[in-house]
Amino acid sequence: MILLAVALTAIPEEVTAAVEATRSAPLAERIDRISASLLGRDYALDPAGEGEGPDGDPVARYDVFDCVTFVEEVLALALGGLTGADAVRRDLRYGPGTPPTYANRNHLMELQWLPDAVSTGRLVDVTARIGPTKTIVHPVDVNTWNSWPARSGFGLTDAQLPVGTSRVAVVDLSTALANIDKFPVGALVLPVRAPREHRPVLTFHVGFVVPGPSGPLIRHATKLGDGRVRSDSLAWYLNNAKTYPWPVEGVAVFLPTP
């Protein structure tokens, strides 16, 4: 088991090479090159944890990703390099100055993860650069959580559940598609669903904007297709989001900052 843990947490040579080769490059190029070095990795839901406690999965691993752990790891390496990645990952996953425990993890993207990343200056909300926005507001309390079928998957007491009011500015899908060339390279794109009373979540996915030969791509760890880290046309992805049974209100766009 110890040997397996070492294998999962050791940074692969091709990833190390991408980090070293882009140390002096603009952040957008770092994100593109480092994320490209992880293409083809398999998708797995919730593959990382604290290495102990309720979620004993490795803190970092490079064999499988879900959409959030993929974004966390690329940002950790792009912003922190090989020596500072652990600190960046910890801040993104738990918030600044917070002990890295399961109970302290940023379990909700829109209520915890995004606000923490913005408050530390890691991300800037640039959704309004794409087009006119509207703000999705969604109150979340203990009853919201306990009405959600997925509640049993969280090893948290009612007192530990994250509660509050989520606020996310979005640009609608049609406007986003009409302004597809305004999405900055390196930005995070997050589809945001219409609020539902008995669901604490709004966002359901996240990926990076990277350049492509025929327009911007979204690079992401996704269950789509064969389930892996891949690049897809951003326009195709946004059009596909229009077909979801749980309606998508729009997308939020956040730009990482050096």
Average pLDDT rounded to a whole number, residues 124-136: 98
- DSSP class of residue 156? -
- Judge whether residue 8 has pLDDT over 90: no
Q: Report the C-alpha gap between 90 and 98 in whole angstroms.
A: 8
Closest alpha carbon to 120 in 144, 91, 146, 149: 91
Average pLDDT rounded to a whole number, residues 47-57: 94
- Judge whether residue 27 has pLDDT over 80: yes
- Judge whether residue 113 has pLDDT over 60: yes
pLDDT, residue 244, reads 93
Confidence of residue 217 (pLDDT cuts 50, 70, 90): very high
Q: Report the C-alpha gap between 97 and 99 in whole angstroms.
A: 7
pLDDT, residue 10, reads 86
- Judge whether residue 1 has pLDDT over 90: no
Percentage of the chain with pLDDT > 90?
95
Domains and CATH numbers, the chain: 2-104 (1.10.3670.10), 121-256 (2.30.260.10)
Beta-bridge partners for 251? 171, 191
Closest alpha carbon to 191 in 131, 230, 233, 234: 234
- Judge whether residue 5 has pLDDT over 80: no
Q: Is the pTM of this model over 0.85?
A: yes
- Strand stretches in 8-105, DSSP E: 42-43, 64-65
pLDDT, residue 7, reads 47
Tokens of 40: 């083809």
Closest alpha carbon to 65 in 26, 35, 87: 35
- Judge whether residue 93 has pLDDT over 80: yes
Closest alpha carbon to 22 in 91, 69, 102, 80: 80
